[in-house]
Structure 1
Amino acid sequence: MFKGLGGLGDMAKMMKAAQEMQGKLAALQQQLATTLVTGESGAGLVKATATAKGTLTALDIDPSIFNAEEKEVVEDLILAAIKDAQEKAQEKTQEETRKLSEELGLPAGMGLPV
């Protein structure tokens, strides 16, 4: 009468695994939102700090570079530092996503929505 209900146990396992994965993804997203990376340009004269999710949080500019005649150079250094921070944020996100994928036993290269 109840033939074939053995598959319900497998379905329950799959649902539990999916919930576990969802929880771990949420934890990773929170971690990435609070992990900071710093990009630099001009040998450290300009530093940009961002979250691993790519949100710019701080900009530190050495006062020695403020010179009205070199405004374009300063702007370029600022942009370069921000770009460096964004690249480091992306690298950190990829690294943490890869670690989580391995922990969950997912195939290499499988994209997780973070």
Structure 2
Amino acid sequence: MNNLEDIMAMAQNVQAELEKAQAGLDTIEVQGAAGGGLVTVTASAKGRIIGLNIDESLLAVSEKQMLEDLVIAAFNDARAKADAASGAAMAKMTSGIPLPPGFKLPF
């Protein structure tokens, strides 16, 4: 029975560490950019958008389509960086846990 109890205790520890790591993701900030930095988006590694900066040169009516495209590109860049930061943080947290190949947390 000790093995089962040890496994349950380990699972509870892993769950607590996972919750702590998930909470920490909201404190990691990444910045996505487009148009050579004319549009930047700041996001947390959890994917929450924190800020948006648009260069004034893009605020002309004639630049509307380009501005829309750059905002989308900056959001996508920020999301990709948030995913990478999240993956790195979770990999760091699970590095000491013997998981089978291909097994990913959170469940």
Letter of the structure 1 residue corresponding to residue 51 of structure 2: A
Task: String of CA shifts for 1:16-52, please: whole Å, max 9, x gaps.
Answer: 1011101110011001122111100011111001111
Q: CA deviation at 1:108?
A: 4.2
Aligned counterpart for 1:111 among listed residues 101, 104, 107: 104
Aligned to 2:51: 58
Distance in structure 1 (CA, Å) of the matches to 2:101 and 2:17? 17
Aligned to 1:86: 79
What secondary structure does 1:40 align onto?
strand
Q: CA deviation at 1:67?
A: 1.3
- Which sections of structure 2, spanning at least 5 residues, go unmatched? none
Letter of the structure 2 residue corresponding to residue 64 of structure 1: S
Is the CA contact 1:101–1:107 (under 8 Å) kept in the aligned structure 2? no
Q: CA deviation at 1:80?
A: 0.6
Matching of residues 27-46 of structure 1 within 5 Å: 27-46=20-39
In terms of Rg, which structure is larger? 1
Distance in structure 2 (CA, Å) of the matches to 1:29 and 1:45? 31
Letter of the structure 1 residue corresponding to residue 2 of structure 2: G
Letter of the structure 2 residue corresponding to residue 82 of structure 1: F
Aligned residues: 107
Q: Give RMSD over aligned pairs.
A: 1.4
Percent of residue pairs bearing the same amino acid type? 37
- The answer to whether the aligner puts 1:13 opposite 2:6 as a matched pair is yes
- Which sections of structure 1, spanning at least 5 residues, go unmatched? 1-7
TM-score, normalised via structure 1 length: 0.85
Distance in structure 2 (CA, Å) of the matches to 1:108 and 1:38? 32
Distance in structure 1 (CA, Å) of the matches to 2:82 and 2:99? 23
